[in-house]
């Protein structure tokens, strides 16, 4: 019978050698298979980044998606108060943690992977020149392994590469950096220094897959339509001037050309010569492309899981009732897919190594409990209370309710007597 432990719930966390399974899974033997020339290869990360930068709706949509994963934040709960405090101090109480979480989640959505750096209070062994000493395997030698997480750093996923064994466990990460001298160096990092945000995965794909790559066909089509519209505007949207003169010779062309260049809505011409001026606009049969654009927008909206009205910032794309229904579906997706995955990432890759470093029980680490996405903020609650109270005051004035009854209703509606 295999030995089973919490560490085996995730391939990307610390684990003991004797706690591995017997099956060769995830990026192991199957990762050695080469993709044939006729098969579709994975998109380069730099290309995915280019689409993110150059297509406005995609840029906006993925930023909204990443922020929605954080939503209204989370609480940390558990039976061991000391463990809860330790984990809270190492996450929610660290300045910049929220932005780090959102940015690395964005990396996961764009690139398919978000290897965020965890900064421990390690004491590195330094040589006489002040440079960290590395062991024979290329890792920095520690005078003392840190027990506390003191910060987080945003990384560039294009420069981080995971290296895994035959069973799919990440052994270490390599990071390529450009030095001040312009040379390239490769550094190795142990798993506990990286928190791996990866929301979508199939088979043994250790790299993960993002939302840009899965929607590339639609994005390309929309960008093509966008370019065609722009070209059409420059070519035909603004009529150009054609100036003609009866009996003109080659010597007259420069003068006629100058008349056309300077022609505007304020131009007044007077001439003893017979000159004809014609404004040439769109000619030929027009094609209704709106149904095709609508279909492409629907495809991208569905592929990203963001209502069309939000993604394209248009109030004409859907009515209010439908938008409320779609938004409810979006909230359900964020909670069941993204927040649940994020909980596993934080608990297994931050809380477990932290508890182990402090010689505490990590078999049942504190849990990440997300605040409801529909929960109103303090400002919103106060505003609603003000509006409701004004309405109730009018009902008291006409004798519908007594002041005592209103107090009971207010307490019940806004849970004023309950502790949060």
More confident residue, 191 or 263: 191
Share of the chain above pLDDT 90, in %: 32
Residue 268's SS3 state is: coil
Return the higher-pLDDT residue of 261 and 286: 261
Which of 134-138, 167-171, 393-397 comes out lowest in average pLDDT? Answer: 167-171
pLDDT in tens, 324-344: 656 666 787 888 889 999 999
Per-residue confidence (pLDDT) for residue 349, from 0 to 100: 94
What is the per-residue pLDDT for 16? Answer: 46
76 band by pLDDT with thresholds 50, 70 and 90: very high
Identify which of 156, 153, 198 has the alpha carbon closest to the alpha carbon of residue 338: 198
Banded model confidence at residue 78, pLDDT cuts 50, 70, 90: very high
Residue 119 has pLDDT above 60, yes or no: yes
Mean pLDDT of 161-180: 81
| Residues near 58 by beta carbon (within 8 Å), at least 6 away in sequence | 51, 52, 212, 219, 300, 304
> For residue 143, which phi and psi values (nearest 5 degrees)?
-70, -35
More confident residue, 373 or 85: 85
Look up residue 66 and give its two tokens: 């990443």
Concatenated DSSP letters of 104-159:
HHHHHHHTS-EEEEEEE--EE-B-TTSPBPB-TTSPBPEEE---SEEEEE---GGG
**Residue 71 neighbours by CB distance under 10 Å:** 18
Q: How far is Cα 161 from Cα 185, in angstroms, rounded to an integer? A: 14
Distance CA 258, CA 26 (A): 70
> Could you tell me if 108 and 199 are in contact, meaning their C-beta atoms sit under 8 angstroms apart?
yes
pLDDT of amino acid 282: 57
Nearest alpha carbon to residue 109 among 338, 394, 358: 338
Q: Is the pLDDT of residue 6 over 50?
A: no
The residue-averaged pLDDT of 162-179 equals 81
In this prediction, residue 10 carries a pLDDT of 45
Give the per-residue pLDDT at 93. 96
Q: For the chain, what are the domain ranges? A: 6-31+41-215+320-370, 240-280, 378-414
Q: Is the pLDDT of residue 21 over 50?
A: no
The winner for highest mean pLDDT among 39-53, 81-95, 208-222 is 81-95
**pLDDT of the residue at 365:** 94
The answer to whether residue 238 scores a pLDDT higher than 80 is no
Mean pLDDT of 216-229: 86
Residue (of 272, 282, 274) closest to 244 by Cα position: 274
pLDDT of residue 387: 79
- When pLDDT is averaged across residues 218-223 and rounded to a whole number, the result is 90
Beta-sheet strand order (sheet of 184-189):
160-164, 170-178, 184-189
Q: What angle do CA 413, 416, 418 make, to 5 degrees?
A: 110
Is the pLDDT at 306 greater than 90, yes or no? no
């Amino acid at each position: 019978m295999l030995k089973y432990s919490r560490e085996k719930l995730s391939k990307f966390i610390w684990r003991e050698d004797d706690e591995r399974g017997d099956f060769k899974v995830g990026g192991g033997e199957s990762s050695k298979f080469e993709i044939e020339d006729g098969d579709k290869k994975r998109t380069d990360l730099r290309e995915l980044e280019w689409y993110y930068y150059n297509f406005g709706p995609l840029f906006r949509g993925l930023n909204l998606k990443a922020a929605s994963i954080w939503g209204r934040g989370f609480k940390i709960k558990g039976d061991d108060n000391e463990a809860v405090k330790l984990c809270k101090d190492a996450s929610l109480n660290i300045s910049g943690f929220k932005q780090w979480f959102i940015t690395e989640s964005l990396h996961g959505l764009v690139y398919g992977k978000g290897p965020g750096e965890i900064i421990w209070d390690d004491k590195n062994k330094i040589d006489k020149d002040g440079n960290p000493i590395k062991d024979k395997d290329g890792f920095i030698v520690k005078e003392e392994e840190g027990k506390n997480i003191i910060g987080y750093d945003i990384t560039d996923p294009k420069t981080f590469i995971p290296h895994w064994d035959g069973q799919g466990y990440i052994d270490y990460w390599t990071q390529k950096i450009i030095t001040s001298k312009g040379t390239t160096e490769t550094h190795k990092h142990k798993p506990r220094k990286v928190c791996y945000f990866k929301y979508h995965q199939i088979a043994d794909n250790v790299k993960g897959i993002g939302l840009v790559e899965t929607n590339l066909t639609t994005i390309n089509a929309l960008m093509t339509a966008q370019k065609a519209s722009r070209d059409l505007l420059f070519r035909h949207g603004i009529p150009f001037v054609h100036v003609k003169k009866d009996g003109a010779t080659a010597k007259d062309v420069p003068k006629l050309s100058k008349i056309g260049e300077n022609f505007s809505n304020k131009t007044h011409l007077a001439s003893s010569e017979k000159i004809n001026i014609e404004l040439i606009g769109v000619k030929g049969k027009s094609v209704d492309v709106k149904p095709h654009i609508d279909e492409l927008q629907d495809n991208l909206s569905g592929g990203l899981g963001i209502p069309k009205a939000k993604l394209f910032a248009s109030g004409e794309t859907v009515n209010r009732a439908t938008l409320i229904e779609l938004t409810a579906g979006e909230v359900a997706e964020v909670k069941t897919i993204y927040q649940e995955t994020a909980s596993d990432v934080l608990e297994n890759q931050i809380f477990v190594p932290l508890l182990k470093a402090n010689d505490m029980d990590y078999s049942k680490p504190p849990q990440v409990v997300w605040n409801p996405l529909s929960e109103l903020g303090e400002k919103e609650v106060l505003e609603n209370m003000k509006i409701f109270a004004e309405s109730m005051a009018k009902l008291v004035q006409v004798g519908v309710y007594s002041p005592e009854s209103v107090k009971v209703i207010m307490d019940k509606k806004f849970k004023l007597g309950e502790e949060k």
